[in-house]
Amino acid sequence: MLREFTCIICPNGCEITAGVEDNQIISIEGALCPKGETYVNQELTDPRRNIATSVLVKGGELPLASVRLTNPIPKARIFDAMAEIRGIAVEAPVEAGTVVIRGILGLDSDVIVTKGVGRRQLPES
């Protein structure tokens, strides 16, 4: 059976057509580099994705801090991960690179801050 994929490994975004039988690649066209075949194989056996979202910041100059995963996680676990992330808040100030959840869902991926948020300054009276 022929299956269509858009490779997301690099900016080329190759449109790949793969002949697939029993989750094995039997033919592949459209990949401009070897990473395309690796991507298709990963999609067939264990599709993974990365997440970028935000978390609440208590006492911050901004109400939210952007976060992302350090490693892709199984695609089937994305909604579970989002639910766990949605349940946390961090205290300002928070710096870029700060781990806010270590080993999300027991997986080999941490949730880290991607842009720091300073502490809100109270107006002087």
pLDDT (tens digit per residue) in 54-63: 999 999 999 9
**Per-residue pLDDT for 124 more than 90?**
no
Same domain, yes or no, for 65 and 100? yes
Q: Which amino acid is at 28?
A: I
- Let me know if residue 75 belongs to a domain: yes
Q: What does the pLDDT average to over 9-30?
A: 94
SS3 label, residue 18: strand
Phi and psi dihedrals of 31, rounded to 5?
Answer: -80, 120
Domain containing residue 7: 2-45
pTM summary value: 0.83
Same domain, yes or no, for 69 and 35? no
CB atoms within 10 A of CB 19: 13
